[in-house]
Amino acid sequence: MLNLSENRVRGKNIEAYDAFRELTPLNIARKLSYWVLAFFIIMIIIMMLPWTQNVPTKGKLTTLRPEQRPQSVYSTIAGRIERWYVREGQSVQKGDTLAFLSEVKAAYFDPKLLERTQNQVDAKNASREAYSNKAAALGQQWTALQEALELKLEQSRNKVRQYELKLSSDSMNLGAAQTAYTISEYQYRRTDTLFQKGLKSLSDLEAKRNKLQATSAKVINAENKLLSTKNDLINAQIELNSIRSQYADKMAKVRSDQSSALSSIYDAESQVAKLETAYSNYEQRSQFYYVIAPQDGYIIEILKKGIGEVIKDSEPLLSIMPAEHDLAVEVFVRPMDYPLLETGQQVFFIFDGWPAFVFSGWPNQSYGTFGGRIVSIDNIANKKGQYRVLVSPDPDEKPWPKTLRVGTGASGMIMLNDVQLWYEFWRQLNGFPPDFYEAEELEKYKLKAPAKHFAK
């Protein structure tokens, strides 16, 4: 320094001058301590801030009801694809024709199969009617035979009764003839005795002899009539039994024929039922040539594309997404987080393709998230050892975008308890699970020693 000025600064308090005070070197250590102290104060304040515990999950969009999820449309019968009426991505209504199939089984090649089957049904119905008429005629014949049998039996019984009465009459005639013969014989002997004594003439004796012979002839004649009547009675009884046997055979034959006719009727009815079932099956099969949409929706993927390609019965043709569906998200959680979940619990989602700014511990400060509620929790883990959770939109939050599609990825945060931030850091560093029991529940699960234990 040249020391040209007479105003010397050496030996003076230079900090009394503003210019020199501005040029005084800073106390770095003191300033740094202030900054460190301020940083720790800010960190303590931040650590005391509230933090919402959550279980992070990933999943994808699905539907709430199983019938609203993508489904395959199957071919009921085996056939060959002849024409497609839709394309992928096309909207269809319930009942719209999707494809047309032609027949591939030889049993159904006949173009007049329904007509010929109907003719068989009509023929069997006519056969059944004929058997019914035959059974009715045989029934009438059986009734006529039964009436004729009653008349014949009555006639034979009358005849038997007549011979029985005639037998009684002939028996009485025989008794009278035998009595007359006995009297004539007695008279003849008495006259013969008187003739020997000369009291009666020879003419009287011969008259008594003639009378005796006449009464003897009457006895023989009466006996012959009696025997003849007995034979007639026996023949009448035999004829009565023969009539029963004869008509029994005829009626048995008629009954057998009637049973055969009824059996033929039942067989014809069985055949008619089988043919009608076959006709109905053929008629229904002809309707299955056209594959129709089971419900309103969109064609996702056509699985069998070639014209002329042969498909088997119950083989999928295409996939369709129902037009009306209730969206839901299926997410998967670890077994450690499974006990923390319950139905109705709140979940926040970030959907793929929608911008979002997320604070996982402060859901109210996040942007672009959508709320949901747990509606279903599986009780069995999948092959990866995770549990499936189904979440539906939260009616109290803003609605989900209408342009969301099934299969879109989603990142979820299942909301749990509110804790302080320092506690969350401590839990994460130690690998502890989030809080499960609430304060009231903790009191209930505390173990207390019995009073008698302290008494000892």
Q: What pLDDT, on a 0 to 100 scale, did the predictor assign at position 422?
A: 67
72-108 burial code (b ≥16 CB/10 A, e <16): ebebebbbebeebebeeeeebeeeeebbebebeeeeb
CA distance 358 to 261: 88
Tell me yes or no: is domain 113-287 CATH 3.30.300: no
- Do residues 102 and 80 make contact, with C-beta atoms less than 8 angstroms apart? yes
Give SS3 for 300: strand
328: number of Cβ within 10 Å: 22
Q: Based on C-alpha coordinates, what's the Rg of the chain? A: 62
For residue 441, what are its two tokens? 């529940």
The reply to whether CATH 2.40.50.100 applies to domain 70-103+289-322 is yes
pLDDT digits (tens, 9 = 90+) for 358-412: 655 556 656 668 888 999 888 888 888 889 999 999 888 888 888 888 888 888 8
Domain ranges of the chain: 51-67+325-435, 70-103+289-322, 113-287
Instruction: Give percent helix, percent strand, percent coil of the chain, each to the nearest 5.
Output: 50, 20, 30
Domain 51-67+325-435 belongs in CATH node 2.40.30.170: yes
As beta bridge partners, residue 34 has: none
Q: How far is CA 112 from CA 117, 120, 180, in A?
A: 8, 12, 100
Bridge-based pairing of strands 315-322 and 71-75 is: antiparallel
Digitized pLDDT (tens) for each residue of the chain, 456 residues in all: 455 555 665 655 655 556 555 555 556 677 777 788 888 888 777 677 666 667 788 889 888 888 888 888 988 888 899 999 999 889 999 989 999 998 888 888 888 888 888 888 888 888 888 888 888 888 888 888 888 888 888 888 888 888 888 888 888 888 888 888 888 888 888 887 877 877 777 787 778 788 878 888 888 888 888 888 888 888 888 888 888 888 888 888 888 888 888 888 888 888 888 888 888 888 888 888 899 998 898 898 888 877 888 888 888 899 998 888 888 999 998 888 788 788 888 888 888 877 765 655 556 656 668 888 999 888 888 888 889 999 999 888 888 888 888 888 888 877 666 665 666 666 666 666 666 544 444 343 333 333 333 333
